[in-house]
Amino acid sequence: MLDTIFSPLYSSTDQITASTYFICSLVSLVLGAVIAWAASVKSRQSKSFSLALLLIPVIVQMVIMLVNDNVGAGVAVMGAFSLVRFRSAPGSAKEIVSIFLAMATGLATAKGYLTLAALFVIIVCLIMVLSNFVHFKEKDDFVRELRITIPEDLNYAHEFDDLFKHYTNSSKLLNVKTTNMGSLYKLTYEIELKNEDDVQKFIDDIRCRNGNLEISILMPAVNERVL
């Protein structure tokens, strides 16, 4: 039973007919739409990228059908695909995975493995969608940018060391800037909090040291991870 489910629509020795081509193309487009939808869940995707995910499976399918059983042509096609990486802007890890998923889907439908391609897309897309609703605490989730304003007569070099030791796992002074005609200093630290619930206590303790001047704890600038 399972062998028949995973059997290809046609063998490599069979001539590709019009009906076979249209069936494979329709499945590629449907699976491409599923991939584009899964990649867009809780993510900002441009219209052009969603369109690319929709069309990549059917495009790859067409190319593979044309070079079927031709090793030389297959190598040339793979070389052309590798050039696409250098002609496009760096993408996030999720975008790269989506593109490879679309390409693998096109390869499967081109060889006639329509059921296998459908199951593959459903499983991977389900994992992609569920991962958006599961949040794993990472070290970066506790990294913050701390900005402290202090009077000019306060020796900031070691003034906050005990507070940093108590409330943070690590701290690093990034920037020192004078303000208000040199009567105040603005310090910028990168810190890793031990516990997010202690932020208010942390700020209150700093206020006792800096004369109740301005203090802010911010999320660091988001640099999207790219491959």
Instruction: Please list the residues that pair with 172 across neighbouring strands.
Output: 190
Instruction: Let me know if residue 223 belongs to a domain.
Output: no
Residues 119 and 189 reside in one and the same domain? no
Neighbours of 69 (CB within 10 A): 8
Residues 65 and 7 reside in one and the same domain? yes
Kindly tell me if the per-residue pLDDT of 140 is higher than 60: yes
Average pLDDT over every residue of 123-147: 81
pLDDT of residue 202: 94
Name the burial class of residue 138, with classes exposed (0-12), middle (13-18) and buried (19+) by CB atoms within 10 angstroms of its CB: exposed
Q: Mind listing the pLDDT tens digit for each residue in 34-77?
A: 999 998 887 777 888 889 899 989 988 888 888 775 656 666 66
Residues 153 and 195 reside in one and the same domain? yes
Structural contact between residues 177 and 186, judged by C-beta atoms closer than 8 angstroms: yes
Average pLDDT over every residue of 164-186: 91
The amino acid at residue 147 is: R
Residues 71 and 165 reside in one and the same domain? no
pLDDT of residue 82: 60
Structural domain including 46 reads 2-131
Residues 127 and 143 reside in one and the same domain? no
Q: Mind listing the pLDDT tens digit for each residue in 20-43?
A: 889 999 999 999 999 999 988 877
Between residues 134 and 28, the one the model is more confident about: 28
How many structural domains comprise the chain? 2
